[in-house]
Amino acid sequence: MTETYDSRRTAVLLVDPYNDFLSEGGKIWPRVEPVATKVGLLDHLRSVVAAAREAGVQVIFVPHRRWEPGDYETWDHPNPTQRQIMERHSFARGTWGGEFHPDFQPRPGDVVAREHWAQSGFANTDLDLQVKQHGITHVVLIGLLANTCIESTGRFAMELGYHVTLVSDATAAFLPEMMIAAHELNGPTFAHAILTTERLVGAFAARTLQSSR
């Protein structure tokens, strides 16, 4: 099946494009690097974002909470990831690691949603409001991590009634097995499409060409 995307109704959700995840020297980059390198993560992220902007597709940044002193310490039930953040101070506010990667900076017209505390970009944020107010029906998820924030945000989007597309090589995880779980086992239970970057960019380009005729 060939997927089609109306640029007026489609958004690319760029999840957690922080230096700590994507840059040499980032706190979490060493754990992501093997899979990220294998799938060509950074080049594919660049390709999707560039193609989206060329096609007039809305780009929405979906950032994780930037750690601040005291975060989660008084919570009754911080999850395992939040406990790790308390230890390593991932995405710390006011630090280089908590800044967006230099290749993924918001531009005029982009939307930056409120930061999510756990794994879903929709839970306890304004993301659903922003998506609806921009007339979006189709969301394309890219960024990190495939089996946590991407999956949780995609599942939540499906529950809210959006058409959900995963991009299998514009994301990464700590282990190859996690990528298999995200795209071969779990993804097909909630996503309407699971594409490669090449197929998605082709779909965006075809729609742009069709609209210009």
CATH number at residue 132: 3.40.50.850
Could you read off the pLDDT of 95-127 as tens digits, one per residue?
999 999 999 999 999 999 999 999 999 999 999
pTM of the model: 0.96
pLDDT above 60 for 208: no
Whether 2 has a pLDDT exceeding 90, the answer reads no
Tens digits of residue pLDDT in 132-190: 999 999 999 999 999 999 999 999 999 999 999 999 999 999 999 999 999 999 999 99
- 131 found inside a domain: yes
* Residue 74 belongs to a domain: no
* Cβ pair 200, 140 in contact under 8 A: yes
Domain, as residue range, for 29: 10-64+100-212
What confidence score (pLDDT) does residue 209 get? Answer: 44
Q: What is the domain count for the chain?
A: 1
Res. 213 pLDDT band, cuts 50 70 90: very low
Say if 118 falls within a structural domain.
yes
- Inside any domain, residue 164: yes
Q: Is residue 203 part of a domain?
A: yes
72 within domain boundaries: no
Q: What's the 3-state SS for the chain? A: CCCCCCCCCEEEEEECCEHHHHCCCCCCHHHHHHHHHHHCHHHHHHHHHHHHHHHCCEEEEECECCCCCCCCCCCCCCCHHHHHHHHHCCCCCCCHHHCECCCCCCCCCCEECCCECCCCCCCCCCHHHHHHHCCCCEEEEEEECHHHHHHHHHHHHHHCCCEEEEEEEEEECCCHHHHHHHHHHHHHHCCCEEECHHHHHHHHHHHHHHHHC
Determine, yes or no, domain membership for 83. Answer: no
| Residue 1, pLDDT above cutoff 70 | no
Residue 161 lies in a domain: yes
